[in-house]
Chains A and B, each alone.
Chain A
């Protein structure tokens, strides 16, 4: 499905990373595999250092910390926020929405809209699309899009399929109406038939958590996890991404009448280096135009990996220059979505530690 948005722009980006670092080399004994083989995988997949929260830290903590940072430094005025959109798979509670909790903690005005969106690796793109749609309303001039996940708390430490790559992070993206005539193109697709290839089986109403769901069991590959943990069928996810993402990008560029060369950077969700390099090769895009350095530095924090890859690689250049970017996210749902837009001349673009 194609979307077009006009006269909207991203004016600021802040990424909040937990200061706690975990190194792959220090976790080798967690896994039921020879060290030598794990070390070879480290290079191929880009495993190295990831940032994770302590067990007491919630999604709202990271978001409130980031918003306070912006208020205190005058990057935004809290009265200006007309909508708070939070994309997360790790809410503080089943109810109420975590966006309402954040609104309350920060004392934001009542005349606004707060909403949570349950989405993962494509969540940042969906959050931007939702923000653009909200800005169609006369009464909404500025949206604070929050994207946060703390999935490390749901991953088994003895699961080599998932644990070495999972990171935690939050991002705050300020989206505003823009007087300059511009077009943003979007594309989104979903396939709920394959929802089970990325899932946390227990903990919802379908299978409430209990002693049995917490029991650790070994899978055929030697990983240990319980039904309360994230399960990722890595080979099926890989095949889904290689099959569906390239045609989506081709379609997006065609709709946006842009050649591959015209796009300055392809800022994609960061599952691992191997998958991204294969995507770049398939799309015939030079690897340097599709950065894949987030898993090795911070881990994969679902959709937040997209603002992180932008912030980390373009940093202060986005304050003075403008780039044509292609953003894409793909994963849980299954969902895959992309945007073609210009980003630049931003008021802020930085990474801070929590």
Chain B
């Protein structure tokens, strides 16, 4: 799941390295429109519908928080 999340992130913002251990929001690597694209792609890929209430910047700040959100949303590899 982690690998696929990184692949999708790279697809959305190819100019950044999402393997780095940084906060994607604080570093300006993802803005609110990126999050819309990311949620759309994650929902398609993992068969989820991420709850609108969970679409908050803090849930997209690292690979771990994104994976945790996917697991909470019932995401399957």
Q: Which residues of A contact B (CB under 8 A)?
A: 37, 40-41, 43-45, 160, 221, 234-235, 238-239, 241-243, 274-275, 278-279, 281-282
Contact = CB atoms under 8 A, between A and B. Distances in A.
Contacts of A242: 51-53, 55
A190 B39 CA distance: 29
Nearest to B54: A242
B31 A278 contact: no
B36 A45 contact: yes
Q: Which 8 A-B pairs have the closest CB atoms?
A: A242-B52, A278-B52, A281-B49, A235-B32, A44-B40, A242-B53, A44-B36, A40-B37
A84 B43 CA distance: 46
B74 interface: no
Interface in B22-64: 31-33, 35-37, 39-40, 49, 51-53, 55-57
Contacts, number: 48
| B35, B37, B39 interface centre (most CB from chain A within 10 Å) | B37
A281 B53 CA distance: 11
| B12, B52, B53, B57 interface centre (most CB from chain A within 10 Å) | B52
B67 to A, nearest CB: 20
Interface of B: 12, 31-33, 35-37, 39-40, 49, 51-53, 55-57
A42 to B, nearest CB: 11
Contact of B32 (A37, A234, A243, A275): A234
Given A37-B12, A160-B33, A242-B51, 16 more contacts: A37-B33, A41-B33, A41-B36, A44-B40, A45-B36, A221-B32, A234-B32, A235-B32, A235-B57, A238-B32, A239-B52, A275-B52, A278-B49, A278-B51, A279-B52, A282-B53
A44 B31 CA distance: 15
B32 to A, nearest CB: 4
A44 B37 contact: yes
Main secondary structure of the interface of A (DSSP, over half): helix
Contacts of B56: 239
A225 to B, nearest CB: 16
B48 to A, nearest CB: 10
28 contacts: A37-B33, A37-B37, A40-B37, A41-B36, A41-B37, A44-B36, A44-B40, A160-B33, A221-B31, A221-B32, A235-B32, A235-B57, A238-B32, A238-B55, A239-B53, A239-B55, A241-B52, A242-B51, A242-B52, A242-B53, A243-B53, A274-B39, A275-B52, A279-B52, A281-B51, A281-B52, A282-B51, A282-B53
A278 B55 contact: yes
A278 B42 CA distance: 13
Contacts of B57: 235
A238 B56 CA distance: 10
A41 B33 CA distance: 7
A279 B51 CA distance: 9
A221 B28 CA distance: 9
| B32, B35, B39, B56 interface centre (most CB from chain A within 10 Å) | B32
Given A221-B31, A235-B57, A282 B36 contact: no
A41 B39 CA distance: 12
A274 B36 contact: yes
Contacts of A43: 40
B69 to A, nearest CB: 14
Contacts of B40: 43-44, 274
B29 to A, nearest CB: 13
A20 B71 CA distance: 46
B72 to A, nearest CB: 14
Contacts of A239: 52-53, 55-56
